[in-house]
A and B are shown apart, each in its own frame.
Chain A
Amino acid sequence: QKEVEQDPGPLSVPEGAIVSLNCTYSNSAFQYFMWYRQYSRKGPELLMYTYSSGNKEDGRFTAQVDKSSKYISLFIRDSQPSDSATYLCAMSFGGDKIIFGKGTRLHILP
């Protein structure tokens, strides 16, 4: 079993829809959870950062962490064509390294 599992997609949704992106993980020792957005041929950009369980909201983006289920989610409300990108989940024990998922390709259809 891989440490972090993420459906690669692609996921296509119409503009304005709510998008749900998810990752599962196997190691219960992870404490820090992140979502990165990566546009084609660019470096990953940090979107959301959460410590331990709970929800965090930033504008149209909401990150959820359920440590009991080893499951994290990113929700995008009122999705826009500019949200089309690859979304990478990542997590850390709190040390120098983070473990990435493979990323989900998201297409928002105008």
Chain B
Amino acid sequence: DAMVIQNPRYQVTQFGKPVTLSCSQTLNHNVMYWYQQKSSQAPKLLFHYYDKDFNNEADTPDNFQSRRPNTSFCFLDIRSPGLGDAAMYLCATSRPLAGGPVAETQYFGPGTRLLVL
């Protein structure tokens, strides 16, 4: 089945120790997103790629970086995790509607829960 895969499902890191979360998709979608979701809150968009074009949200801290080496894979790098970065990190994909450069709905992976000690 076509899907969005995130690894690992759970990640424990130490305060200040860099960590990388990965996402892969078999949907062949053009757009990939990274969200941060804290308990009882809406997912917060960090950034997204339209193909190789990177789009950063204005309020995303510099501590968060992303790479998309090819259509299928996207990585979230947290350079110096703080206690406030403990959250669920969600990867999502979408595709443009036929005939226009706009996205339809988004399809999510299972998420990676990050714990910062």
Contact = CB atoms under 8 A, between A and B. Distances in A.
Interface in A58-110: 88, 90, 92, 94-98, 100-103, 105
Contacts of A92: 103, 105
Interface residues on B, range: 20 to 34
Nearest to A101: B42
Contact of B48 (A36, A44, A96, A100): A96
A14 interface: no
A46 B105 contact: yes
Interface in B98-115: 100, 102-111, 113
B108 A44 contact: yes
Given A8-B40, A96-B50, A102-B40, A43 B109 contact: yes
A44 B50 contact: no
- Interface class of chain A by DSSP: loop
A8 B109 CA distance: 23
Contacts, number: 61
A34 B105 contact: yes
Interface in B62-117: 88, 90, 92, 94, 97, 100, 102-111, 113
B42 A43 contact: no
Nearest to B55: A96
B110 A42 contact: yes
Contact of A96 (B4, B31, B42): B31
Nearest to B107: A46
Given A43-B108, A46-B106, A92-B103, 10 more contacts: A43-B6, A44-B108, A45-B108, A46-B108, A94-B97, A96-B94, A97-B45, A98-B106, A102-B41, A103-B40
In the A-B complex, list the 9 residue pairs whose CB atoms are closest, starting with the nearest: A43-B108, A100-B42, A43-B111, A94-B102, A96-B103, A43-B110, A44-B108, A102-B42, A49-B105
Interface of B: 4, 6, 31, 40-43, 45, 48, 50, 55, 88, 90, 92, 94, 97, 100, 102-111, 113
